[in-house]
Amino acid sequence: MKTIMRYILAAVFGIAGVAHFTRTEGFTNIVPHYLPFKDFIVKASGVAELIISFFLLIKRPGNFFKKIINSFLMLVLPANIYMAQKSLPLGSIDVPKPLLWARVPLQFVLIKIVNKL
């Protein structure tokens, strides 16, 4: 079961990572207004997600890598909160506000899953 979950997470991070480069504008819009270098942040987080995806595909993460993944999930949390506060669309999709807020605790669910791998 852990292997299946690891592959699912690898797919999620991989798809999100690619989307940072194919749908850059949608991700740029959810970077909080107080942060500079939005385009760099979007591309850097996309690279981080692709790296996480790659390493999840090749082996089970050790404690150090789990901490890196969890730190990344916490670093992107402000974007999810900002998106929910401002009711920003997910790319070209208008998402109901309750679902936008549901993404916030999802970060903590992902952390729990990562810790169980």
Residue 112 scores a pLDDT above 80: yes
- In this predicted model, what pLDDT tens digit does every residue of 46-87 receive, in sequence order? 999 999 999 999 999 999 999 999 999 999 999 999 999 999
For residue 37, give Cα distances in angstroms to 16, 30, 33.
20, 13, 10
Expressed in angstroms, the distance from the first to the final Cα of the chain is 9
Tell me the whole-structure pTM to 2 decimals.
0.90
Q: What is the mean pLDDT of residues 3-14?
A: 96
The parent domain of residue 101 ranges over: 2-116
How many domains does the chain contain in total?
1
- The single residue listed with the structure tokens 């991989």 is 14
